[in-house]
Structure 1
Amino acid sequence: MEKYQLALIARLKEQLELWLEAEQCPHTNPDRHSDQQSVATSDELYRFLHTIRGTSGTIGLSRISEEAASLMNALELQPQDEWPRSDLKQFLSPLVVLVQGEHAAAPVKVDAGKAGSNVKGSLLLVDDDEAILAYLTEELGRRGYGVTATTDPAIALRLVHTSNPDAMVLDLHLQMSSGIDIMLAAREQAAAVHTPVLMMSADMSPTAPVQALRLGADDYIVKPLHATELAARLERLLLRKRVAEELASVDSLTAVLNRTQLPELYREAVSATGNTGHDGFLLMFQLANLEQINLTWGEEAGNAALSGLAQCLSSRLSGESESELQAVVRYSGSRFIVLLRGMEKEAVQIYIERVKQRLSTFWPEGEDRGLITVVYTQMEPALEAANETLHGLLRLSRSAKEIAERPMNEQADKGCILEFGS
């Protein structure tokens, strides 16, 4: 941690000399040389103390952090728009004494730097203080996070688009922007709509966290902060994100994937089919007498029948070769799609027969016989034909009862009916 402390001290000394030494006056009027000329605005002074309080406390310079906090409180009691050099010297003198007693080192440079193994997730870290960026990048990297850090809000927004981080850690108050501005702009990008944001700030006002959370931040942590606590909060946010993603992709009744996952699954299946040189197939299973079951036994029985069918289809996934079976998807109320890849046409009929043999195992006891229609079609290698393939399969499913009387090997429309149960 010492290297970050020394780098911060170097930056503090540089800024204090810039403000307090007459020959280095930075203000806009080059003719101002006396101690009565303004060298800093109240906003500039507040941002300086705000940054110092948060960074110094985080990297172990507690006395400097406490003094910066004290000066921030004093600044509220001593409001003035412009600060002449003489007033600023007197006001900052306690901080100057502390800083002059420390040894400095070369500043730490961070510009979209990367660290960490990305085992626990990828992070985008934005702060205008390079010392705290470097420190947190190293600390979070050691804890298994892949960290991309920058001081530039524009670069941060580009990284949201190109890197798609799992979470963002943003400083609330930045010199050129704010963490809230970055968060709102990032979430205009589709990929980042649900990306968790942890806001951090040395702002001690009670309204700061309230504003950040109301505008969409998922968590808020006050500087000075401990890297261990920050890592724990990120772990919780990422766990919550993973659970939400799983729930969003899974049908709540049957526990198989929902139809939102179908386009990506189709792309994967087409790709895998091309690699094996065999055909890929889509099968649609429909519980054709679901309405009758609901009317006779109630919706609870109908739900149990759907869950039983889903379990049966899913159990085949665990029992088949990984190269053959890819996924089961609940396509609509009573319809399920099974994706098969790398199979010969004859193997599809074998698969359907195996499903039929197992259906009674999953059928609720005491219910009417199950009536399930099955249709299937070969996948089109062109991804743009995917929607038409699915629509064609749905048309086949709707006419399955009409074509199911013919033997399987004579069915040009590839339809059949499976009956089972008591």
Structure 2
Amino acid sequence: MEKYTKHFFNNIRKKLQEWETAVAIPHEEVYRFIHSLAGSASVLGLHKIGDRSRELMDRYEEKEGRTWTISEVKEELFDIIQYCYQYEEESIGVLPGKQSRSGEEPVILLIDDDTSFLMYMKEELEKIGWYVVPIANPDKAIISYYDVRPDCAIIDIYMDGTNGFEVLDFFKKKLKQQFIPTVMVSGENSKEVRMKSYQMGADDFIAKPFELDEFIVRVERQMERKKQMEELVLIDELTLVYNRKYLSQAYAQVQSNWARTGDSYCLAVLDLDYFKGVNDRYGHLVGDQVLKKFASQLKSETRVQDTVFRFGGEEFVVLFPNTSIKEACTLVDDIRKRFSQLKFQAESDFFCTFSAGVTEIADPTKPFDTWLKLADQALYEAKSSGRNIVKMDGKASEHTPHKTMKIAIVDDDPIIRTVMMDIVSKLPGEQHIQYDIQTFKDGAAFIESEWHMTNPCLVILDGVMPKMDGLEVLERLRSRSDSDRYKVLMLTSRRSEKDISRSLQLGADDYMTKPFKLLELEARLGQMLKRMR
């Protein structure tokens, strides 16, 4: 039966490939294809496909005077195409123990030129729910550090052509305020190597080979230490949002991102109205409850990428990355409306409001105080206009052009292309970002296209394709002078460890082994797009 089922799926692929080259597809041909699916699927026990095919047959007559485009066919047959992928996925099985992704799991940057070690560690650590970014090229690791913003960096000391100490030195000098732990690993366990690791600022040293469970515990300890340090040094004790000490570090990240991507940022200053009257009438304990509730609402109603700070007293600051000033004003105003309806209880019920000023960080090479003053001026206008209002900095541009992000799906399998196109088109985006999505049936078609020559581009790349395989495509992309514009997710067979190894050496940003759960793919793409924003 398995032989006939495989033949059934291959026939679907063959028909989709045939139709992709057609300008118009006769209705009668589409009807006969659906009729064929309805009969064969039920015989093979593929009941979901059979039932769906019969539902479609009931919609149409065999003789109808119309033609179809391939887009219309794929849309009409999408449920069937998705069932095909799911049946094949279930028949082969996926890696056991792998947890689903939430987008909030710990992020580990793993740097080692031993690709076998990278593959093993990635698989094992992702089983426990961590998100692992494997880097085989130390030079690429430095760039990735900015993109990934990991919770822990694990660095091998001895790598071909590069000393892991050089990478560690860069991290500690350039990012010393980030409080991101670094763990050195090495096959050499001499006293000299251990001492040098600690002298250069490593937070831990683990000798190879190691017991995996002990390794996990030690890395978890470092990440917990990072969290505790942030809470101790950078978190406001009362409101549990960042304090003003963290603003310099956050602005340094803005400057770094802007230098590489040119993305727009906005800054809002928010101040509770008549807060002194709350303290005077109800007491400071009630005032503290108002501050805590206000901070909690800011945290819950801003986006994941936004950062909330308590600047001092009843004044708060919010940084909005990749956001136009019009969008930032809308976000703050929505929070204002909801907060003004919140009832506080003391000896009598009362309500609170806040005013806000918003500005665009047009040039992050200028000091942070430049933008803080502009937002403060807008806040002053809001207070002068009667309070409980959001004002935009009058000097800021009211419109920031949308950023276009391109997503290429390069795979010779029409079933996978169709399913992935659907997943990618439904990924959550931002108002200022437009996704331009294209599919390519082989590597040569992608390389020859001029479509991807501009804007940041995420490439979902199948490893094995006719004419030009994924590794050759990856090699060509990484040889380009603007190669950092491309983020590449390689799709490989579980059995092709050599291909995975080679893709890491060539600079793939991540990889997934087929077959994979669609939710797993969706989460992985979300992580990569978040890095690109």
Q: TM-score range by the shorter chain?
A: 0.3 to 0.5
- Larger Rg over CA atoms: 1
**What TM-score, normalized by structure 1, do the two folds share?**
0.45
**What TM-score, normalized by structure 2, do the two folds share?**
0.37
